[in-house]
Structure 1
């Protein structure tokens, strides 16, 4: 046996994701687990905004949301959420889960109908990780 501690490892991350997905599906027979993305590009093909998420049974989750600095007040975040929620509904999901650090966008999610369910303190700068849930 050998234990190796290292930096980022895309190959290990992919393997862990595959193994945990298989374990989770064995533990929840009949459920489907799948990722999805939403991408907004400009006329030149540059990325303006994006979202990645997942669905598992009747729950969807949003993992990452990003909007380019010069486009942050143009409503693209709401457009991303609406598209993700539509995809979640199409997959039979009833709720969407997301978290946001206090220096990111908790007020944004609250404005879009997400209800705060938990806060985890202890992040740099005195920040917290805020968890939200939305009924679809």
Structure 2
């Protein structure tokens, strides 16, 4: 038996891990990993500079938001709201049952709560009292 620890992942081996997990999971649901559909939303200024964006993917009838970012110079201009509106509209078009996401305790939990997201749990193992808060919104 050989154990390998590396800092530069092997894409082929990582794919084998994901594929093994997918095959195992497929026996428990009719939703399939093949249904994974990425979503990226970009907001650019008049000079074609990225000023806000959101990345996500839908699978198992849920939109999973990975990242939402608004440039510090553009905050307070409702760009985050616009990104979330577009993402939720797209989730509904994809016939998702809702959205899940996580946010660090110093980030945007109140923003998501105003949009109807509910806090469903946290990981509080991070230093300096920081936690990762998990949230969901059912349609």
Length-normalised TM-score, structure 2: 0.83
Match of 2:37 in 1: 34
SS at match of 1:97: strand
Residues 36-70 of structure 1 show CA distances to partners (whole Å, capped at 9, x for unaligned) of: 11111111111111111111132111011111110
Relative to structure 1, is the Cα distance of residues 106 and 30 closer, same or farther in structure 2, using a 3 angstrom cutoff? closer
Relative to structure 1, is the Cα distance of residues 17 and 100 closer, same or farther in structure 2, using a 3 angstrom cutoff? farther
Residues 5-51 of structure 1 show CA distances to partners (whole Å, capped at 9, x for unaligned) of: 33354846973686368537744345422111111111111111111
Query: Runs of 5+ in structure 1 lacking a partner?
Result: none
Please tell me whether the aligned partners of residues 57 and 92 of structure 1 are also in contact (alpha carbons under 8 angstroms): no
Relative to structure 1, is the Cα distance of residues 2 and 109 closer, same or farther in structure 2, using a 3 angstrom cutoff? same
CA distance in structure 1 between the aligned counterparts of 2:44 and 2:14, rounded to whole angstroms = 26
Query: Runs of 5+ in structure 2 lacking a partner?
Result: none
SS at match of 1:43: coil
Q: Does residue 1:23 correspond to 2:23, yes or no? A: yes
Relative to structure 1, is the Cα distance of residues 35 and 23 closer, same or farther in structure 2, using a 3 angstrom cutoff? farther
Relative to structure 1, is the Cα distance of residues 14 and 102 closer, same or farther in structure 2, using a 3 angstrom cutoff? same
Trace 1:19-98 onto structure 2 (pairs within 5 A). Answer: 19=19, 22-23=22-23, 26-27=26-27, 28-31=29-32, 32-98=35-101
Residues 83-105 of structure 1 show CA distances to partners (whole Å, capped at 9, x for unaligned) of: 11011000000110011010111
Which structure has the larger Rg over C-alpha atoms? 2
Please tell me whether the aligned partners of residues 36 and 53 of structure 1 are also in contact (alpha carbons under 8 angstroms): yes
Tell me the matched-pair count. 136
Trace 1:98-113 onto structure 2 (pairs within 5 A). Answer: 98-113=101-116
> What is the root-mean-square deviation of aligned Cα atoms in Å?
2.5
